[in-house]
Structure 1
Amino acid sequence: MTTFSLLVCDDSAMARKQLLRALPPEWPVEISQAAHGAEALERIREGGIDLLLLDLTMPVLDGYGVLAALREEGLECRVVVVSGDVQDEAVRRVTELGALAFLKKPADPMLVRETLQRLGLFSGTATATPAISSNEPTVNFRDAFREVINVSMGRAAALLARVLGVFVQLPLPNVNILEVGELHMALADAQSDERLTAVCQGYIGGGIAGEALLIFHDSEVESMARLLRRDAACASSMEMLLDMASVLIGACLSGIAEQINIKFSQGHPQILGQHAPIDELIRLNQQRWQKTLAVEFSYSIEGHEIHFDLMLLFTEDSVPLLTQKLAYLMG
């Protein structure tokens, strides 16, 4: 009997591990893995891949690029997208490019089973001894936490997309433990004369605490106000930034809390530095930030000259507790 061949493509070892565990255990399938889209395409070009489980946000070549290349080159391979980017527009685009289905991360075993059955890829009964031939990847803290953040920021982007009626482009999140000086460097991607406004919101739950920092470039505030159909006058723009911060930070923290099974209490968002250079923001807050576990990523809005940076700054003593919470995902 010919064995069904499956390729799992995701840059996150954590995501690949979760997906492998979500597959029906009795499914007789041979599994291989790829860490980015270009690697997956090379494997498909060699032939013999029946189904590709494909992430969207990846380095080298993203999922959209893989789907476009499959169509352009006429490569025969069925594709199911498994992504943290759950925007309605993302689902529409991958469907238009030929994906057979879309599953949100982290993959739910029942939904995976139902999708495979609906597509006629799995009968629901084992006809042979399962032939799974792929080792689960080893996952470290950084990769596990990065994937939790990836899923959370995807949910936040989907909410923002609905509120603004736009498509939000998602980056790869960057997870680092930084000293305050290194945090300065991470934030200083803007030019030295760039004027910034930052909104800060504290959070705590299950012994894990930190602050979320949402940084807006002043030159783009007027464009955001137009999207929200608001006057960009100072008082109105500050209210708008606080509203956007509340939506984004709240959705992101909610996504993290759900995945690691805790509940965060959030403080009120505050304007941290109004029309101030980044040097001044760091100087005013370096005592409370000290050494921190920093997660940084930038949202950009397609078709508009708008982007803003979101950083989650976890206190140093939160790291052991986060590690414990992630242990069941890494195990």
Structure 2
Amino acid sequence: MSFVIRSAARKDLQPLYEMAKLTGGGFTNLPPDRPALKSKLERSATALARDEDSLADELFVIVLENAATGDVRGTAQMFTQVGQSWPFYSYRLTTLTQHSQELQRSVRAELLSLTTDLEGSSEVGGLFLHPSERAGGLGLLLARSRYLFIAMHRARFGDRILAELRGIIDERGGSPFWDAIGGKFFGMTFQEADYFNAIHGNQFIADLMPKHPVYIAMLDDSARRVIGLPHPSGRAAMRMLENEGYAAQGYIDIFDGGPTMTAQTDQVVSIRQARHAPLMGLCTSGEPVLAATGRLSRFRCCFGEVTPGENGVQVTEETAALLCAEPGDDIWWVAR
């Protein structure tokens, strides 16, 4: 069974909505709300229609499609520059050391400081794979296809890139981290706050969240234990990010306390190692790769096989068919 990644279109609203209902909460970039999803698709369509290669506040949505049936079975998103429409908030883990001469004692206190350090970064997020398709490396295809898209449209993305991982959510759908901090000030459950953020953005955080640092020692045990930890379902995603060169730099999500991973865009492995050449013809077999072609709305990516040459590249017939590629088209690829 063959799958292809392509740019999303307005027709994808219904399958995205059906998948959003399966996320289980804490998934801000894919809310189970038709108007919000429609707005995302419209924003992506506007970005795809802009041909100028320059940095702007844009969103690109891609989908995983079963090439045989046309069914959409996964999705992911790329934000070119966060923190432009409203502040992009994170907590930053810091340490304050204080010393008493009289007691001859030093005390180190860990703090959570509200920050907008990551404004202007690009972001990869909104990755969701239908539960029935979580095999055969499709999550890897969906995640890494974003980096080929970025490499192919590099001028439209920032020099730093981030990925937020969902934090720990309990069996009731609540967040121990939110209950210990945000819930004290907003009078909202985690699910209510997370949903409001997904639909309206997080400007309400700027309006109501206390700006002073939070002493971690003053939080209850259940909150302290989850700071910077990914949800169990996100551990594989965290390993994939680390393999791409992302690292945890002490930034955590203000809602659920999950880790925010960052990297220099040009140092992300799948971007740094991406190569491209014109398609010269077909081959019977080749190197196993992620292959992509097509600009903006014509972007397509799949698992494929390529044979590089001096003047171009050959691909297998199946790869060419999945990419809808013709001789002369620019083929991008990175090793699997």
Instruction: Classify the TM-score, shorter chain.
Output: under 0.3
The structure with the greater share of residues assigned to helix is: 1
Q: Which TM-score applies when normalising by structure 2?
A: 0.24
Q: Which TM-score applies when normalising by structure 1?
A: 0.24
The structure with the greater share of residues assigned to strand is: 2
